Amino acid sequence: MEIAFSKIKHTPTDLNFVEDGVSIIGTLTKQSRDLVRLESDFKADVDVICSRCGKEYRKSVAYPLGLILSDGRYNDNDEIDVIEFFNNLIDITYISESEIASIQEDYNFCPECQETDEVLEVEL
């Protein structure tokens, strides 16, 4: 799903993205000529691998997602949650895929490993 930067106004524009088990529901608001603020709720069921036992499992996540979206290079170092787009379009699918990749690359522990007190020892 792509939205042109020029379509976003200073009054919040509703965003309702639901695709492949991922939902990003919130608003897009123009901050300046080249910046748009995304304020939303992110929900997804993500296939991840347990960092402890290596078993694959499905993890449900839900959290507020706030980002600055830049039409071109972002030069201000004050914000850390910035995504730059270079084709005058906001790609919501890309944002979704990026969030999923971040979750998968994080440390994830399956329900069994979260409940155990057993010490994991590995010989090197």
Kindly report, residue by residue over 5-28, the tens digit of the pLDDT.
Answer: 788 899 999 999 998 889 999 999
Q: How many CA atoms lie within 13 A of 82 on its CB side?
A: 16
Kindly report, residue by residue over 94-116, the tens digit of the pLDDT.
Answer: 999 999 999 999 999 998 888 87
User: What is the model's pLDDT at position 48?
Assistant: 96
Q: Where are the domains of the chain?
A: 2-115
Beta-carbon count within 10 A of 17 CB: 17
